[in-house]
Structure 1
Amino acid sequence: MGNFMDLYVVETGQENPETIIFLHAEGLAGWIWNEQVKAFPDYHCLVPDLPEHGQSSGVKPFTIAGAAEMVVDLIQNRAHNGKAHLLGLSLGAQVAVQILATHPEVVDHALLTGTLLRTSSHNQTLLNLVDYTFKSYEPVKDTKFFIKAYMRTYNISKDYFDQFQDSTRQISGDALYRILHENLFFMLPPGLEKADVPVLVIMGEKDYQVIKESAGDLDRTLPTSQTYIVPKKGHMWNMESPKLFNQTLRNFLTGNPIYLKLNR
């Protein structure tokens, strides 16, 4: 696939000693972390657009394993001391999970939110779901009506409409199919049980049931993790409640209490 230099990466705070890597959700791009980057001027922030997304749309093909290797390369070459805090949402969280399984040595802390996992291998039902989702979504993904409805579903400010539309337009049909396939079929990777680094697993209270079940799978597998629920929030709570998200991330990185609902 190539190395990290193929990816579009926004970088801020290079003079700061600790690095955070921000990994975005499927179908979007690094701009979804703008409110987080602004809130962390005291950290070195690296925000890539993942392959076949945003301004990395020409980097093909997207796979979670391939994207993970590129992010590891980014950490090894650009993060201070070859190590970083990982922050991943949805597809970005899946990439972070893959990194924890294969290269835990490059991870300082990891915050995973809205992570989808499958515990069984490919089956025809899931393949049919990928086909159905693709055929339903691909014709309407760039329309104003669909984008506005999507944003209302996740309680996201209409101020982000242009960025959402740009992101959907940058993804081709064949890229979309690959991304959906990787997202829906991602399974717990071997080696994750050896990732002995602090991990915060989070889900919104309004998130999908399979996300909540996946959070339990992660918590049972990771040796050093805690799982929390964000009351009254949904899948993209970093955009829905940026102040709460930013405080949660900062408290996690600095060892302070997490003021969310502990999942027991």
Structure 2
Amino acid sequence: MHLLPAIDILDGKAVRLAKGDYSRVTCYSDDPVDQARRFEEAGARWVHIVDLDGARTGVSSNAAIIERIVASTSLKSQVGGGIRSLGSIERLVCAGASRVVLGTALVRDPEFAAAAVRRYGDMLAAGIDAKSGEAAVAGWGEGSGVSASDLARSMAGLGYRHMVYTDISRDGMQTGLDPEAYRSMACAFGHPVVASGGVAGMEDVRAMLGLGDAIEGVIAGRSIYEGSLDLAKACREIDRCNKERSC
């Protein structure tokens, strides 16, 4: 398992939203590139980057910042937000992104989702954001009418082998993760998932470690920025656990 500190970019700044609400924004850094460097210095190996402008409008206005983060650090980058064309994926891949997350397009353009995974394979992840079991789209602003578990099964059938699953009701709230929700989604998907939404502290990270092969990674944002999760300590504990499992 790996820990992915999150950088959500809105209007060129690193922010967090409460439950995906664009009217409830907290700005943590005017310089997302500098923030990524600080994550790297703390021991992170991955960073989760979301273009919130792109997620809402479908048109990325933060691509240059994302490219600078990739170029300025050795972090593996998982990037999502408004990626709805093969050209957008190609730009991120050429910039050095390690993984590209598709969200809204999975529901609204299944032909594109299928074509993308045929071309890019393991470079892609299905991003499924859910509220009350329903997958949300358009920057979490709209319900899709599709259950998250059914969408996960469909994406696995297309060939997706990575998934980021976000519990919108908990995201940005530091209320703690629901381990069983992620175990259930991993079962539906048939592969490990990256957990996102509500990490409050080290107990949540340990709970995800306790799910073993069901969890590929866990994303944390506000808890790191506000100090309830010590990124350096969390990375060391995860590394130690990963080494013990490999022995």
TM-score after normalising by structure 1: 0.37
* More helix per residue: 1
TM-score after normalising by structure 2: 0.39
* Larger CA Rg, structure 1 vs 2: 1
